[in-house]
Amino acid sequence: MIKKVLRKLERLNAEKSKFITEQSNIQKNIDDIDIEIKNYATLKKDYEKLEKKYNDLAHSPEVKKNE
């Protein structure tokens, strides 16, 4: 009886260890994706600022006078 309990305990600990490793790998993947999302969000924000500056300059009264 005790041997069955010990084997079951061993199996459960091994399974737990396996899931903890998988969880760690998944968390690393999530962290990598978060970094990539942050980089693209920054790029988008920079593009929008640049686009706004261009539109402001392109539609300013001084530019129309010179045309």
Report in angstroms the alpha-carbon separations of 37 from 22, 41, 47.
22, 6, 15
Question: Cβ(50)–Cβ(56) under 8 Å?
Answer: no
Segment 9-55, tens digit of pLDDT: 999 999 999 999 999 999 999 999 999 999 999 999 999 999 999 99
Give the residue carrying structure tokens 């942050």: 38
Q: How far apart are CA 23 and CA 17, in angstroms?
A: 10
Give the residue carrying structure tokens 């001084």: 62
Domain boundaries, position 59: 2-66
For position 63, what pLDDT does the model report? 52
Q: Is the pLDDT of residue 64 over 90?
A: no
Count of CA atoms in the C-beta half-sphere (13 A) of 56: 6
- Whole-model pTM: value is 0.67
Q: Domains in the chain: how many in total?
A: 1
